Chain A
Amino acid sequence: MADTSLPEAMADAARTRGWRDRAILLVMFAAAAALPLIADAAGFPATTGIATQIACLAIAAASLNLILGHGGMVSFGHAAYFGLGGYAVGILWEHFRLGEPIFGLIPGSNQLLVTLPAAMLVAGLAALVIGALSLRTSGISFIMITLAFAQMVFFLFVGLKQYGGDDGLVVRRRNLVPGLDLREPAQMYWLCLGLLALWLWVLHRIVRSRFGRVLEGIRQSERRMAAIGIATYRYKLVAFVISGVGCGLAGALMVNYLRFASPEMMSWQRSGELMLMVILGGLGTTLGPVLGAGALVGLEYTLGGITEHWQFILGPILVLIVLFARGGLMSLLGYGRGRG
């Protein structure tokens, strides 16, 4: 990846700030919010469900993008935090259902306002521990060590008989939130969409803050940043934890939507898929991961409906995108960071 030159980045930022883009964003958000109504009217109500999945995965992909696109840290193990967030919801539900506290201490819960922060906390703590160790390495070693830790978490949950092991954990009812009825597909979707918008805004603010600029500097040249007296390790670790927290949030929402948590959520294939979404959409762009998540899930879903050999078509499409649409979908739309 060639380094982005500073003037280009500034021009980019200026463009994003332009009123035209704001208007486009507003229209897009309005369209996304109106989706359940349109889907119902058009006779395809299940589209809302797919959109919910996309929103959840987009939160995870956008979080991964913070370290992948902005920090240059290629984590091949982010499904672990996604899964941990999901299992936090699942395990809290299981203990709520049984009426037994976890380790005899922490009571179970079915309140979203409890389970979401819990999921983010668990995922964040895991990211702190794993990140603290992994960030001592870089390059390929970093890719592989994050994978190694994710595999350990995966096998841990496969072996946890109490929580269903490989078969997963059924969450019979979605969590409760005051003022919302999550059993209603549209309301579940709006919750995910709202949190996605909020999380994108938070990430955008982070990227544009001093912290974000240091992170970008580390991506371009860690040595340069260290030379001007910045403790790069600490910046990288904080970014790693934030992205873990985001994946935990995404996983918690996903389990609420699926009403099911399983180790499959943390498999290395899932980590790969999250990376795919980021790359497909466009590294280091705010909306890229959202587009990537939408494109990948949408393609799988549509192709799967047309032929059972959908992978035979999806595979070459991915190859073509890499070869001919460098910088992902965002660059096709003229918004890329102009890689290479």
Chain B
Amino acid sequence: MSVLLAEQLLNGLQFGVMLFLLAAGLTLVFGIMGVINLAHGSLYMIGAFGAALVANATGSWWLALLAGLAAAALVGMAMEFVVLRRLYARDHLDQVLATFGLILFFNQGIILLFGRQPLFVDLPSWFSGAVEIVPGVPYPSYRLLIIAVGLLVAAGLYVLIQHTRIGMLVRAGATHREMVRALGVDIRLLYTLVFGLGALLAGLAGLMAGPVYNVQVGMGEQILILTFVVVVIGGIGSVRGALFGALLVGLTDTMLRGFVPGFLRGMLPPDQADALGASLSSMGVYLLMALVLLIRPRGLFPAHG
């Protein structure tokens, strides 16, 4: 039982880290520019497809890494430059409508370019095995890699935001947007850079997801809503909040899926228990968000004053 618990904790951590990579970019864009970007999931998809394409063509994992990051960041910055830049002054509804249009465009564009068959990426050979965390319980080393990369990114973002000039502007932008502008900072460049960074992280999440999940059209929307949940639970604009929110959501989701059906089976006939358990665990994360928002409407770590 305790071995299972440890394994599920790792699983929850890994899922949480994945959500964090997506949520970090989203929360910055959300907090600093005030833009709801539904197409953030598309950047995740583009990163995954870029990496898969190059990995299958060249067989080099490093080139794939570069391609995935570059594709996501470039498309992200282009998106900011062409469409989103014009939406900063608009209300959230316009942003929702426009970025929803972008989702349709990107999804169908990927179908036109790659077809409908899901793509497949090999695991990098030196991470294809499993490590025994406890004797007799192997754990895929690639998932450990995801956890490590995610935590490294979190640390990197912390340094970037707390200890650099750009980070200072980012922090200032998240709390007092107008003031930063008034001080004569080139806010446009800052915005494009922040957006590029967010896109880069989404691309990183996408390319790392490739070998584990599916590289397929619509993969972004599957995870988009959960990412928004993370951002809101954590507090908009707060990277620290995104990390805690992501880990909380990842662990909650995994633990509920792992243990609720078994728990219910003690009380109900098996087939009812399993179906009910599945429904309950699907609802769990949303219940968590509703509770957090009712108690702390601005999330756990609000960035704004």
Interface positions of A (Cβ within 8 A of B): 1, 68, 74, 133, 136-138, 140-141, 143-145, 147-149, 151-152, 155-156, 158-159, 161, 268, 272, 275-276, 279-280, 283, 309-312, 314-319, 321-323, 326, 339-340
Contact = CB atoms under 8 A, between A and B. Distances in A.
Interface string B275-296: 1101100110011011001100
Nearest to B289: A148
Given A148-B286, A322-B98, 13 more contacts: A140-B232, A143-B92, A144-B229, A145-B290, A148-B289, A148-B293, A152-B283, A152-B290, A272-B100, A276-B97, A279-B96, A315-B108, A316-B101
B96 A145 contact: no
B115 to A, nearest CB: 12
Contacts of A144: 228-229, 232, 289, 293
Contacts of B232: 140-141, 144
A83 to B, nearest CB: 15
Nearest to B105: A315
Interface string B66-98: 000000000000000001001101111110111
Please provide the 6 A-B residue pairs with the shortest distance between their CB atoms, ordered closest to farther. A318-B101, A159-B279, A315-B105, A315-B104, A312-B108, A148-B286
Contacts of A283: 93
Contact of B112 (A74, A155, A312): A312
Contacts of B297: 136-138, 141
A315 to B, nearest CB: 3
Contacts of A314: 101, 104
Nearest to B95: A322
Nearest to A339: B91
Interface residues of B, number: 46
- Highest count of chain A CB atoms <10 Å: which of B83, B102, B104, B107: B104
Contact of B97 (A133, A148, A280, A316): A280
Contacts of B283: 151-152, 155-156
A326 B90 CA distance: 10
A296 to B, nearest CB: 11
A137 B104 contact: no
Instruction: Give chain B's interface secondary structure class.
Output: helix
Contacts of B282: 155, 158-159
16 contacts: A136-B297, A138-B297, A140-B232, A140-B236, A141-B232, A144-B232, A148-B229, A148-B286, A148-B289, A159-B282, A311-B108, A312-B108, A322-B94, A323-B86, A326-B94, A340-B89
A279 B109 contact: no
Contact of B93 (A138, A155, A275, A312): A275
Given A159-B279, A161-B275, A322 B112 contact: no
B103 interface: yes
A137 B294 contact: yes
B112 A309 contact: yes
B212 to A, nearest CB: 24
A309 B289 CA distance: 36
Contacts of B275: 159, 161
B92 to A, nearest CB: 6
B276 A159 contact: yes
A309 to B, nearest CB: 5
B265 interface: no
Contacts of B90: 322, 326, 340
Nearest to B287: A152
Nearest to B86: A323
Contacts of A319: 83, 98, 101-102, 105
Given A309-B112, A312-B105, A156 B279 contact: yes
Interface in B211-260: 225, 228-229, 232, 236
B298 interface: yes
Contact of B298 (A74, A141, A159, A311): A141
A318 B298 CA distance: 31
A174 B283 CA distance: 32
A151 to B, nearest CB: 5
Nearest to A307: B108
Given A144-B229, A280-B97, A155 B279 contact: yes
Given A151-B225, A276-B97, A311 B105 contact: yes
B298 A317 contact: no
A44 B287 CA distance: 47
Which interface residue of A141, A158, A276, A326 has the most chain B CB atoms within 10 A? A141
B111 interface: yes
Most buried by A among B94, B98, B103: B94
A318 B97 contact: yes
A321 B229 contact: no
Contacts of A321: 97
B108 A309 contact: yes
Nearest to B83: A319
Contacts of B293: 137, 141, 144-145, 148
B279 A322 contact: no
Contacts of B108: 309-312, 315
